[in-house]
Structure 1
Amino acid sequence: MDRSPDSPPPELVVPDALEVLDAGIAVLDGVARVRLWNRWLEAASGVDSAAVLGRVLFEAIPVLDGTRLKTAIQDVLETGAPGVLSHTLNPVMLPLRLSDGQRMVHNVVIRPLACGGGRGCILQVTDVTASVHRERVLREQRDARYRAIVDAAPDAIVTLDTRGVIQWANGAAARQFQHRTDALIGRGIGVLLDPLSPQWDEIAGRFSEPGGTEIVGRRRDGTRVDLEPSVGRWESQGRSFFTVILRDITERRRSREALEANALAMKQMAEQTRATLDALPAYIAVLDQGGRVVLVNKAWADAPVDAPFLGARCRLGDDYLERCAAAPDREGAPAVLAALTGILHRGGPAVSMEYHGPSGTGRRWFRCLAAPMEASPYGGGVVMHIDNTDMKEMEAALREVVGQKSTLLREVNHRVKNSLQLVSSLLTLQTMTLTDETVRAHFRDARSRIEAIALVHNRLYQTEHFQSIEFGSHLAELCDDLERASGGGSTCTVSVHADPVELPIDQAAPLGLIANELVTNAIKHRDGPSARVSVDLVRDGGALVLTVADHGPGLPPDFQMGRSRSLGMRLVTSLASQIGASVTVLPVAEGAAFRISLPLPAPDEELPQQPAPQETAG
């Protein structure tokens, strides 16, 4: 193509075009002398073209001598192959600055160029500061989001190099292992691990594979922490790194060990329960909600075919209710069936029933105990049959023996009462022969005491209980007898107020004699033709209080109970001491009053009442 006559020559156009490029352009000849240094390079390097043109570049700018740029230029001049210098691998090349004075990040492309009949090169310098800054900002934003997410993670996360040295750690790692984050950087991963745990070489090779392996870590205070590691490998700028997640599974491991221990304990309990059931002589079966047998003990399994208890021939899987319904020859079977149906279908209460085995020779008694299995998620119940024929026979024999003993004791009390009444009659006859009134009075007192004791045995003869008597009614009857023996209402009036109370015979007999003495004395020493005597028996806290008062002449001013020469008073004091009672003379305006306080034993603490099992005798 022909050039226009008005067009400028190429040797003038090319330099001008290189001057206006938004890039640094430098042309070097074969010995690296500068042939072109455009205005962009002048502004960026601060070196005028006049200062470098015609001079060797490394002499004009001495800081470039010995740099990677010099080596690259020499390689291009010698080989003719282009070269590229990137800022990522060569952070310092030309001493270039931006307009604000900051260092310029740049790339350099070196291409071979024919220059003056020889080999030269052209340097193209590109400003990448803005793009590098933009990439750095984006990377920092991305890293900030990543760190925010990782720092919020509950698990410890650390970044390691290939040697196992910690490059970064999140907040959870610092909290979990009780170290400051900056104190972890630069230290080996072993600072977080127990000395007996695998070291980094083994962790990097083994735990990068799935498998859920567990290791042991150590906190700063030396406490142990169970860890589940997860390891991931990644590359950056030609270097390898590892991200390790250390999950604290201490509580999970404890829970697992507790579950294993509970499972073992439950297994042992099940084995122990089964051994216990097998050791019992009773016939035991476990039923599901439908009444089918799901478990039997050894006694049931080994029972002979002709065993007489209900459902003896049932085996695992059989319908027990159906088998019970087909046993009409067993008296009480319908009641047992109804109770079991209520337990299995409606969750009824536990039952205890007796029934006869099949009729015929050798008929036996059985007790059926059945209860719902409330703790089982599947419902059902347990049924037990106990052969209590021997117990029934023993009970019958015992009842017969007790009946004989009761008859014997009643007869003994009857005979004692008759003997005492005979003695009383003899004393009465003897009294009739006496002329001395003083002696006659002594005989009457003796007869009164004997009759008081006879009255106790009479009550024991009339009751079913031979160890104690109801003392309130006994006291009223005793006072009635004393009133009649003294002539009735014309001679004395004895009013009795007595609370019902059961007293053992060892206390009732002495207390009755004390009452007899005090009432007899009140009648004997009455003031006037008729005596008025009041007798009260009440409970007062933990004591039984007997009070005998009259409206007679009263006691002497110097009367002392312990020093009285009266046989009656000495007898009262002796009997009271015998049963642990205290005797007090009460101050009254008229007559005399005595107070006998007898401590009562504390009643036994009542046991908590359990619902009584239903029972039906067959």
Structure 2
Amino acid sequence: MEPTDVKRLPWQESILDALDVGIVVLDRHGRVQFWNGWMEAASGVPSATIHGQELVDALPALRDSRLHTAIRDVLDTGAPSVLSHTLNPVLFPLRCADGRRMVHNVLIRPMTANGARYCVIQVTDVTAVVNRERVLREQRDARYRAIVDTAPDAIVTTDTRGVLQWANGAAAQQFGYRPNELIGQSVSLVLAEGSPDWSSLVDRDAADRHAPIELIGRRRDGSRIDLEVSLARWESEGRSFITGILRDITERRRTREELKANALAMRQLAEQTKATLDALPAHIAVLDHGGHIISVNKAWAEGGPGAGFLGDGSIIGDNYLEACASTQAGGADYADALIEGLRGLLLFGGTPVSIEYPGLSAGGPRWYRCLAAPMAAGPFGGAVLMHIDITEIKSMEATLRKLVGQKSTLLREVNHRVKNSLQLVSSLLTLQTMSLPGAAERAHFQDARARIDAIARVHSRLYQTDQFQTIEFGSYLNELCTDLSRASGATLGAIAVKADRIDLPIDQAAPLGLIANELITNAIKHRGAEPANILVELHKTGAPPELAAELIVSDQGPGLPEGFDMRKTRSLGMRLITSLTGQISATVSRLPVERGTSFRIVLTVGEPRNAMLEDSPAEING
């Protein structure tokens, strides 16, 4: 017979009952041989009740459980087992003193006594430890959530299948969902169609594993969002998870594309600029702040030492100031002036340099214009330098000056001959007047002669000056009044002139001269027995382009009859005045005076036509 009890001394049972762990001893048939006080309190099953029973009969919930299997392994093979609460959530049906389910670990070991095999089960209460770890984990998780929930970037956690397990507030806001709407959904919900598999992204080669990935995301409304994704795989309680940071780089990508486009545009602009400079016939070079040549155009490079401009033959890398000082083209004065101007430009910037100088090329004497401008905005500072061949321009200028001189002489001769012809006509009229028997006829002829003389004075002044487009009308009025006063005799009295200096175009001066002649002549003719005391005034008002001239002719004669209308009068002189004022777009009016008559003519001074630059078709065609 095998013993059915383990022989124990009384004080041994007291020790086992005093332990703060559960002790259970089973015989080789799985019958309970010892059930200490800790187990009685935790299970609620008295030792006397369970003693001698098979454990799985007394606690049917344990049958075929992981604990039952481990017990049989110990009894059959002697292999011990450790059952953790993390992998085995249900072991013994135990409760804490406050009635909560007890979290416990179980250690199962074989034991031999009196030649018989036994199974010793040790039960440890880890409820407090687990609760403490849970509290610490929750505190740690709270800090983690506080960090990730306030992070500006979207952070999500998925399982290996890509199913979302957690998402922070930024992720929900970024994609337009509520946080609980994302949990349990596939991560493809927030990625554009055709995106690579989520798990394959984290399983990349080691060299690329930590490099960010750029993907296209999809918001709830279907709009696109550019993402930079960083992924990491981690393990917890035997399960794998993937956490990803999905940063919105839409603005950054747009800026990057703009920079790329701008860089392309700048390259195209640089190529276009170079092509344009190469197409120009001018010799162009770019100097750094020390005066060294850093770039030249095609004309400069192909010109060589025989081009004839200052510094010809210098190449990229040369100091242009030294090359200019040693050049044989032009004169030393021009080279020194250019060097001095360039030094000031390179040191201080400021006003561009412009110099014209003669040169000697392989084809003969030439003329060049050098233009230099600061280039402070460039990467090297410095200046841009240009030598332009102006030989043909100089030749054209000389020819033009000769033609202008010839045309000036011709115009002066024309005006002189017109004046002489008008004086001849005036003399003929004077002779004809002497043969007329009637005083009325003689008066008409004298009026016509006076009008011709007024026009002749205009041409006389034109050929006496170098100006062929304008007449200084103040001097003309003084001359006109002097001649009319001398022709009228001593009985006239004074003709006073107060005239500003005004240059009138010939198209306005001739008609206005006739108007002044008519008004002054009328004042002389109709003065009566008393002196007329005529006052002629010429004033300018405003400034170009609104410059105006005001002519006032006043006398102290008997005045005009009441109801006089110069537009309805049959007088040739008044009709002539009306017609001429309309011709020059002037206005004529009578000013109220106590005695005599006062006429006021106002006209806007026009721009003179440049007769020197106006050629007839015959002149243009040669």
Q: Write out aligned runs for 1:3-22 (5 A).
A: 10-22=8-20
Residues 1:493 and 2:498 are matched in the alignment? no
Q: 1:289, 1:378 within 8 Å by CA — same for their partners in 2? A: yes
Give the letter for the 1:226 counterpart: D
Q: 1:428, 1:444 within 8 Å by CA — same for their partners in 2? A: yes
Give the letter for the 1:485 counterpart: A
Q: 1:30, 1:115 within 8 Å by CA — same for their partners in 2? A: no
From 77, 96, 99, give the equivalent of 1:98: 96
Q: Which moved more, 1:552-561 or 1:416-425?
A: 552-561
Q: Write out aligned runs for 1:271-286 (5 A).
A: 271-286=271-286
CA distance in 1, matches of 2:200, 2:23: 54
Match of 1:255 in 2: 255
Give the letter for the 1:390 counterpart: E
Match of 1:460 in 2: 462
Residues 488-507 of structure 1, C-alpha deviation per residue, up to 9 Å, x if partnerless? 5x414333333333322112
Cα offset for 1:201? 4.3
Q: Which moved more, 1:264-273 or 1:395-404?
A: 264-273
Give the letter for the 1:101 counterpart: G
Q: Write out aligned runs for 1:327-366 (5 A).
A: 327=327, 330-331=330-331, 332-358=334-360, 362-366=364-368
Tell me, what secondary structure is at the counterpart of 2:303? coil
Q: 2:531, 2:557 within 8 Å by CA — same for their partners in 1? A: no
Residues 553-599 of structure 1, C-alpha deviation per residue, up to 9 Å, x if partnerless? 23222222221111111111111122222222333333323232324
Q: Which moved more, 1:114-123 or 1:340-349?
A: 114-123
Residues 512-536 of structure 1, C-alpha deviation per residue, up to 9 Å, x if partnerless? 2112212222222225411133333
Residues 85-120 of structure 1, C-alpha deviation per residue, up to 9 Å, x if partnerless? 211012222222222222221112223345797544
Give the letter for the 1:221 counterpart: D
Match of 2:40 in 1: 42
Q: Write out aligned runs for 1:379-418 (5 A).
A: 379-418=381-420
Residues 1:555 and 2:553 are matched in the alignment? no
CA distance in 1, matches of 2:495, 2:574: 20
CA distance in 1, matches of 2:478, 2:200: 101
CA distance in 2, matches of 1:222, 1:589: 93
Q: 1:29, 1:115 within 8 Å by CA — same for their partners in 2? A: no
Q: 2:311, 2:323 within 8 Å by CA — same for their partners in 1? A: yes
**Shift in CA distance, 304/54, structure 1 to aligned 2, threshold 3 Å:** closer
Cα offset for 1:10? 4.2
Tell me, what secondary structure is at the counterpart of 1:198? coil
Tell me, what secondary structure is at the counterpart of 1:552? coil
Tell me, what secondary structure is at the counterpart of 2:355? strand
Q: Which moved more, 1:392-401 or 1:108-117?
A: 108-117
Cα offset for 1:284? 2.1
Output the TM-score relative to the length of structure 2: 0.88
Q: Write out aligned runs for 1:400-479 (5 A).
A: 400-479=402-481
Give the letter for the 1:481 counterpart: D
Q: 2:351, 2:373 within 8 Å by CA — same for their partners in 1? A: yes
Tell me, what secondary structure is at the counterpart of 1:479? helix
CA distance in 2, matches of 1:313, 1:304: 4
Q: Which moved more, 1:22-31 or 1:188-197?
A: 22-31
Match of 1:607 in 2: none
Residues 317-370 of structure 1, C-alpha deviation per residue, up to 9 Å, x if partnerless? 233222322246732222222222322344352122121225999433222222
Cα offset for 1:407? 0.4
Q: 1:76, 1:112 within 8 Å by CA — same for their partners in 2? A: yes
Match of 2:76 in 1: 78
**Shift in CA distance, 387/130, structure 1 to aligned 2, threshold 3 Å:** same
Tell me, what secondary structure is at the counterpart of 2:442? helix
Gaps of 5+ in 1: 1-8, 605-618
Q: Which moved more, 1:594-603 or 1:556-565?
A: 594-603
Match of 1:222 in 2: 222
Match of 1:4 in 2: none
Match of 1:502 in 2: 503
Residues 1:147 and 2:149 are matched in the alignment? no
From 129, 135, 144, give the equivalent of 1:131: 129
Tell me, what secondary structure is at the counterpart of 2:97? coil
Q: 1:471, 1:501 within 8 Å by CA — same for their partners in 2? A: yes
Comparing both chains, which one has the higher relative contact order based on Cα–Cα distances under 8 Å and sequence gaps of 6 or more?
1
User: Runs of at least 4 residues of structure 1 off by over 6 A?
Assistant: none
Q: Write out aligned runs for 1:24-35 (5 A).
A: 24-35=22-33
Gaps of 5+ in 2: 1-6, 610-622
Q: 2:21, 2:124 within 8 Å by CA — same for their partners in 1? A: yes
Match of 1:536 in 2: 537
Q: 1:495, 1:535 within 8 Å by CA — same for their partners in 2? A: yes
Output the TM-score relative to the length of structure 1: 0.89
Q: Which moved more, 1:122-131 or 1:461-470?
A: 461-470
Give the letter for the 1:373 counterpart: M
Match of 1:299 in 2: 299
Give identity over the alignment, percent.
Answer: 62
Cα offset for 1:436? 2.8
